[in-house]
Structure 1
């Protein structure tokens, strides 16, 4: 923060890299079932986009031994903002260093959050220019709606598992300038087990949730946006007909008010198809805090989230939840979105 003024150096979530041990099947899931468009291949990676994404690419699938999250990329608001964040992150001791960028992006400053997730900030970005077969008659739509599969419009958010939520939340709010939207605190407010933040009016583009297995640098889920609830219901049909395991939903969260469906892509990563939620435009927004009684199951209506929702993340950690986590907190974390 600069004095009492909000920090707006990060514009929005730019791109997410997912690791997959089953690259061909993962590509099939995102391309044929979710309807994303492949735009580039390089080495062990394939780059994709939703039809409403303005950047050339917003998802990078990379072949790896284990599933999980690779580099999480945030676009800076300006070249000067990029330099300011690089300096601040370096001063905090979290820097990895500068890179020459990636497909569709210019130089990037790479770093780690306190839990070890790899992130980067960049500014230069290549806008998507549709080839003739993908050109939309709408001048304000970067790519036509192809009608393939679910037809996800854009990348929405991701949720990361963290050994300790509080320092990661402070990192995101104080160093990156994200606004805290909602959080869950238990034990009379002394234990922070989940926080939802965003640099934009979108309810959250980043969430941190307590990792009950004591891991570090793990992914809980990656989320794609569709326009309405009917699209989420249609996604359930499409995924089920194609043998994809649906873990939870369609249901409605109390936190975020989002309408959701969680499935596992073939490589093992949890993917959410998401709609609803609400926007935050008020500059004096006061974060919403939930306690044990108010939180309930984390579902406003619909089936209770299963045990796997607390136990599973990528890369997977074998064994049961850490003995360091009290039983009542394990139950609480199982309700988080």
Structure 2
């Protein structure tokens, strides 16, 4: 199927991804992983939730860890330019049959909640409490030294449909994987902030959260994290990498938190700011698509993900398969 033409004048203006809410079964155990090991900074903590930010971020949080009986994802959040964009989003989504509601969220002003056509819970806001900068407080840098949240990746049962929706609201395609036989999209990477992606989609049982990613200073920080995890009881939490992606050209590592939520540690992708930036196409069977060095991903990477709370999971409409590690 042909790619949709980029929508450079969307109905409302999204700045970037903002934060993710993850449901975890043991806050103390999660804190040991996200704070003591990865190095995110605590901005609020009580018996029900912990909020975290990375070193370059001024918003109150980029991760919400909420205590729950079962692991799941609560929502994915995006920041819009201004309050009027929330009203525009409400009108546009309502006119197209999407359920919308205004919700109260601590540390945020008005927040609009909806779901994308796959069922992914989305929240939009314009203003969040701002905190003092800490990017030059080098005594706080620990773990992998996370600088900022970078992107979400979700399993989608129909990547073409997911791309159509996000294209309509102003996300632009940077790279994509096409199944040669059907000419349908198997995966796509879409951005708002001018990197390779804020939101990506992988063909599979969905909707589910595949991973959330954090930008780090250098590949050496990833090596340091591997040394730390392998000697502090987290060896089994290392899932894939380190390596360099063909798609995005980024250096990467995939790890799992104590509840199985997948986290990518990520650096070294490229700018996509120009409005006439042309998407890069990859064939599904290209061995350098997943990893520039040719190493395929493990089976778990294609099959396991985090369910969204109160969201039905369906089977993919595209049966094509990538190269999988034995």
TM-score, shorter chain, exceeding 0.5:
yes
Cα displacement string for residues 242-293 of structure 1 (whole angstroms, at most 9, x for unaligned residues): 2222111010000001110111100110111111111112111111121235
> In structure 2, how many angstroms separate the alpha carbons of the residues matched to 1:142 and 1:309?
35
Is the 1:247–1:264 Cα contact (8 Å) retained in structure 2? Answer: yes
Contact conserved, 1:94 with 1:111, CA < 8 A, in 2?
Answer: yes
2:25 pairs with 1:35: no
Structure 2 matches for 1:298-309, cutoff 5 A? 298-301=290-293, 303-309=295-301
- Specify which of 204, 211, 226 is matched with residue 221 of structure 1: 211
Equivalent residue number for residue 107 of structure 1: 110
Report 1:192-207 matches (<5 A). 192-207=185-200
Paired residues of 1:310 and 1:330 also in contact (CA < 8 A):
no
- The match for 1:233 among 195, 204, 223 is 223
Tell me the equivalent position of 2:22: 18
Matched, 1:154 2:148: yes
**Is contact 1:150–1:238 with CA below 8 Å preserved after alignment?**
no
Residue-by-residue CA offset, 1:52-73 (whole Å, 9 max, x unaligned): 1110111100122332321111
- Matches of residues 157-172 of structure 1 in structure 2 within 5 Å? 157-172=151-166
Whether the 8 Å contact between 2:222 and 2:253 is mirrored in structure 1 is yes
Q: Equivalents in 2 of 1:207, 1:55: separation in Å?
A: 23
Is 1:85 the counterpart of 2:89? The answer is yes
Instruction: Output the CA distance in 1 between the equivalents of 2:7 and 2:38.
Output: 42
Moved more, 292-301 or 9-18: 292-301
Identify if the C-alpha distance between structure 1 residues 322 and 125 changes in structure 2 by more than 3 Å, giving closer, same or farther: closer
CA contact (8 A) 1:235 1:273 kept: no
Q: State how many pairs are aligned.
A: 314
Across the aligned residues of Structure 1 and Structure 2, the Cα RMSD in angstroms comes to: 2.5
Hey, what does 2:57 align to over in structure 1? 53
Per-residue CA distance 1:80-110 (angstroms, 9 max, x = gap): 222111211111222231112x232111110
Q: Deviations over 1:195-241 (max 9, x none)?
A: 11111112101101111xx3x33111111110111111111111212
The residue number in structure 2 matching 1:97 is: 101
Instruction: Tell whether the 8 Å contact from 1:297 to 1:305 is kept in structure 2 after alignment.
Output: no
Distance 1:307 1:297, change over 3 A: farther
Structure 2 portions without partners, runs of 5+: 309-313
Pair 1:171–1:145, CA change in 2 (3 A): farther
Higher mean C-alpha deviation, range 257-266 or range 15-24: 15-24
Partner of 1:270: 262
The residue aligned with 1:331 is 322
TM-score (norm 1): 0.86
Partner of 2:283: 291
Out of 300, 303, 310, the position equivalent to 1:311 is 303
Task: Evaluate the alpha carbon distance shift between residue 145 and residue 196 of structure 1 in structure 2; reply closer, same or farther with a 3 A threshold.
Answer: farther
- Quick check: 2:254–2:264 contact (8 Å CA) kept in 1? yes
Counterpart for residue 311 of structure 2: none
The normalised TM-score by structure 2 is 0.88
* Runs of at least 5 residues in structure 1 that lack an aligned partner in the other structure: 131-135
Is the contact between residue 148 and residue 216 of structure 2 (CA under 8 Å) also seen in structure 1? yes
Q: 1:251–1:302: 8 Å Cα contact kept in structure 2?
A: no
